[in-house]
Structure 1
Amino acid sequence: MTTLDHDAGAATSRKLRTQEEVEARIRAICFKTGPPQLVGAELEWTLHHAAAPHAPLDPATVRQALGRHAPAVLTSGLRPDPLPAGGEITLEPGGQLEISSAPATTLSALHTAVSTDLEHLTALLDDAGLVLGKHGIDPYRSPRRLLHTPRYTAMERAFDARGRHGRTMMCSTAGLQICLDAGPADELPTRWRTVQALGPPMVALFANSRRFAGRDTGLASARMAAWWGMDPRLTHPPVGPPSDPAAGWVRYALTAPLLCVRRGGGGWDPPPGATLRDWLAGALPEPPTVADVDYHLSLLFPPVRPRGYLEVRYLDCQPGGDWIAPAAVLATLLGDRHTTEAALELAAPVAGRWHPAYRSGLADRALRRAAESLTDLAARRLDRTGLPAAVRTHVIETVQRRLDVSAEELS
């Protein structure tokens, strides 16, 4: 082990004994401010046999299809090769595939990289008779866990104790995550409020997960309904002072239930009902380490999660290349101070309408008006993204198609 590796290991194994130490750690890593420079995306899909989309998957089939790109969870820890443009493939508990892009300096560069990696992945799967899903939830199969690890076993038990939605989230949902820089310190509160307020109209606009496990749920986004139906301490937005997003996030992290606690042997189940604050108070034999706190933060699932950058988690998976439409809308609306302030003004009246968003989508008239106004604002500034003209046209046409379909349903 190098000195650098040893120093890093020592830092993450340091025990945190007070709430003040934990708060300092959370503030240090979750909101890193500075000029917005990078954008990223995480694209997740359900995975299906092309000839029989209802049929279950098995790990061996997925591993063989992905070859040298197969994630370590399928290859006894062997590190996978990145995709041609630098993205990495991960596998979710129910067999959902995810591409995590490398951070890009422009939206245009991100589009090029993700398109390259997606084309490569699609070809690999096609050769194996597999296809990526097109919806935010599995329209064919009931939840079934493909991966059996201590992490997922503990999570499943914790979720099952609270109802059915956690297992659905783990095994059947597929989302699109857009990652944006937190921005300068003086702009952070507005950017944080805006990206949260955009949630309900963007959920409504890009909802596409009505069918689940062979039935019509009657919901615009059954994916978001599953997330929302879980423990609100894990999946609802944090609440805190508007001027200090980190304060609200610290409180959220401290009061969220522990989902699993890593151990060298045996199960990873935490004490029932224990929170991070309880851990600090002695609920477990040893106080948490820096690595334990970081791991707990990775198991919180609000609509927007601060990870140094802002990870937008509220969007349904989009089919094929349509992912660029919500990515471009969000990146444009958060592209500069004046546009962000204008977007917040438009979104603020519907900022809390999460339930109508996943239940009714754009059939909710207030959400439809907000979505129309926000996408119009984004369209008028889309040329600032650097996206090629053909891609900008695709974004506008994709958004308009979704608005037109909704209008037909309302007429």
Structure 2
Amino acid sequence: MSDSVSDCPDSPGDCMEHRDTLSEAEVEALVRGICFKTGPPRTLGVELEWLIHELHGPRLPVTPERLEAAYAALRTVPLESALTVEPGGQLELSSPPAASLTECVGTLSADLDAVRAVLREHDLVLAGFGTDPWQPPRRFLREPRYDAMETCLDRTGPAGRAMMCTSASVQVCLDAGYEEPGPLGHGRRWWLAHTLGAVLVAAFANSPLLHGEPTGWQSTRQLLWMEIGAGRAGAPALDGEPRDAWARHVLDAPVMCVRRGSGPWDVPERLTFREWTRTGEPTRADLDYHLTTLFPPVRPRGHLELRMIDAQPGDDGWIVPVAVATALFDDPEAAECAYRAVKPLAERARPQPAPHNPLWSDAARYGLADPELHETAVACFTTALGALPRLGATDAVVEAVAAYRDRYVLKGRTPADDQLDRLRGTDTRAYGKDLRR
């Protein structure tokens, strides 16, 4: 799953690479040509973000010097996955495209073992929370990109800094699907991702705390994205053709910054990319960069990047949402069942696109305490459990999904409830087991 929007050899951009600037029509053609690479769903990728905590005192802040020393050591470790660092010092592992769920789980699990071994030598650990329960936002990376991002996001309030520096997620990357209609068609998968996405927010909510206090939301991480605003973190409307809708969204989204060769980057106010093209200034590189500054819950990058799932507790807790999402999207029978299960939720998703609508808001606030989301999540987990053997999932992965269903979904609970139990002194056993067998 490549990060670059310019990797599609068949995109309209091939004939424009030599051009210095892009017109509005050229931008629309480029975006339409690269957002969905259609074909049979064959590959899977996962991007895991982790907070870094002190091994012996997880509530204590980790100094920038210790983080830098640990990352310097990690850069010497051979990994199959790409290792990057987020603005607040969070660690991200991005798997290479895998031909199966089993291959993806095996690759990331081996890389995580290697990463954890290095971090232990520095008395640090990976921590699976959607938002840091204790630490305030603090920038670790000092680069023009993040300076500009901070300036831009500060205009909408404190949510931007919290998102940049204290949040973490499980992002599942799935192929866009067939060009033709059907359960695995790209149009159906696009719609499903935005509707089922609310169920995934609710079922895997794991961020009820900020600064050691309950926020009143099961997924505070999702709340932060909503507070950043629809232009930066919203989805396009789902009532049109997906390529056209995404191209319009890209053009009408605000420009985060204008990069400079030296010195601070400019951070314009209320300038959309569409308006920028009418000045004759933006280049293809500017467009590529602009696309990386948009953070919708589902980002089309040739494939579909599902961005709505909170980071999960336990060494291997991340595998459960990956397995559930893969089953519900890539098994044709399960995809049809999931579509029927979530279709009644569509009315609650109006009038605004995700995540700025009542369905997504309720999913983030209440999790599975919401009766309709609870009922739908039970149906989706049951469907996923039936599909996973057909996708060749190991017995351990199937058992883990079943255990999560029994421990959380059937009871209308999420990992956020465990965090709240610990805060109140009513702790329950930690969830997590070795899923790689």
Q: Which residue of 1 aligns with 2:407?
A: 401
> Partners in 2 of 1:225 and 1:299 — Cα distance?
18
Q: Which residue of 2 aligns with 1:45?
A: 50
> Partners in 2 of 1:128 and 1:279 — Cα distance?
47
> Partners in 1 of 2:412 and 2:334 — Cα distance?
26
> Partners in 2 of 1:9 and 1:309 — Cα distance?
19
1:264 aligns with 2:258: no
Q: Which residue of 1 aligns with 2:113?
A: 119
Q: Which residue of 2 aligns with 1:365?
A: 371
SS of the residue corresponding to residue 322 of structure 1 reads: coil
SS of the residue corresponding to residue 46 of structure 1 reads: strand
Report which stretch shifted further, 303-312 or 344-353: 344-353
Q: Which residue of 1 aligns with 2:337?
A: 342
Which runs of structure 1 show a deviation greater than 4 angstroms over 4 or more consecutive aligned residues?
7-13
Return the offset for 1:407: 5.8
Within a 5 Å distance, the mapping from 1:25-40 to structure 2 comes to 25-40=30-45
Task: State which of 84, 88, 102 in structure 2 corresponds to 1:108.
Answer: 102
Within a 5 Å distance, the mapping from 1:197-236 to structure 2 comes to 197-236=195-234
Alpha carbons of 1:61 and 1:381: their partners in 2 closer, same or farther (altered >3 Å)? same
Q: 1:394 is matched by which residue type in structure 2?
A: A
Contact 2:137-2:166 within 8 A present in 1 as well: yes
Q: 1:235 is matched by which residue type in structure 2?
A: A
1:189 aligns with 2:187: yes
Alpha carbons of 1:123 and 1:11: their partners in 2 closer, same or farther (altered >3 Å)? farther
Return the offset for 1:122: 0.9
Within a 5 Å distance, the mapping from 1:9-408 to structure 2 comes to 14-70=19-75, 82-83=78-79, 86-186=80-180, 187-242=185-240, 244-282=241-279, 287-319=281-313, 320-351=315-346, 352=349, 353-406=359-412
Contact 1:40-1:104 within 8 A present in 2 as well: yes
> Partners in 2 of 1:59 and 1:89 — Cα distance?
18
SS of the residue corresponding to residue 89 of structure 1 reads: strand
Q: 1:393 is matched by which residue type in structure 2?
A: E
Q: Give the number of equivalent residue pairs.
A: 388
CA RMSD of aligned residues (A): 2.1
Q: Which residue of 2 aligns with 1:74?
A: none
Contact 1:12-1:289 within 8 A present in 2 as well: no
Q: 1:106 is matched by which residue type in structure 2?
A: S
Alpha carbons of 1:51 and 1:18: their partners in 2 closer, same or farther (altered >3 Å)? same
> Partners in 2 of 1:46 and 1:82 — Cα distance?
21
- Cα deviations across residues 104-153 of structure 1 (Å, max 9, x unaligned)? 00000001111101111111111101111121000011111111110001
Contact 1:141-1:213 within 8 A present in 2 as well: yes
> Partners in 2 of 1:199 and 1:62 — Cα distance?
33
SS of the residue corresponding to residue 46 of structure 2 reads: strand
Alpha carbons of 1:246 and 1:296: their partners in 2 closer, same or farther (altered >3 Å)? same
Q: 2:367 is matched by which residue type in structure 1?
A: G
Return the offset for 1:164: 1.3
Alpha carbons of 1:335 and 1:10: their partners in 2 closer, same or farther (altered >3 Å)? closer
SS of the residue corresponding to residue 330 of structure 2 reads: coil
SS of the residue corresponding to residue 225 of structure 2 reads: helix
Return the offset for 1:10: 11
> Partners in 2 of 1:205 and 1:367 — Cα distance?
8
Report which stretch shifted further, 257-266 or 13-22: 13-22
- Cα deviations across residues 22-66 of structure 1 (Å, max 9, x unaligned)? 011112221111111100000001111122323333443223223
Identity %: 41
Gaps of 5+ in 2: 1-8, 350-358, 418-437
> Partners in 2 of 1:155 and 1:279 — Cα distance?
18
Gaps of 5+ in 1: 1-6, 71-79
> Partners in 2 of 1:324 and 1:229 — Cα distance?
28
Return the offset for 1:252: 0.8
> Partners in 2 of 1:407 and 1:120 — Cα distance?
32
> Partners in 1 of 2:405 and 2:32 — Cα distance?
36
Q: 2:190 is matched by which residue type in structure 1?
A: W
SS of the residue corresponding to residue 202 of structure 2 reads: helix
Report which stretch shifted further, 334-343 or 301-310: 334-343
Q: 2:388 is matched by which residue type in structure 1?
A: L
Q: Tell me the TM-score normalized by structure 1.
A: 0.90
Return the offset for 1:236: 1.8
Q: 2:383 is matched by which residue type in structure 1?
A: L
> Partners in 2 of 1:134 and 1:188 — Cα distance?
31
Contact 1:240-1:249 within 8 A present in 2 as well: no
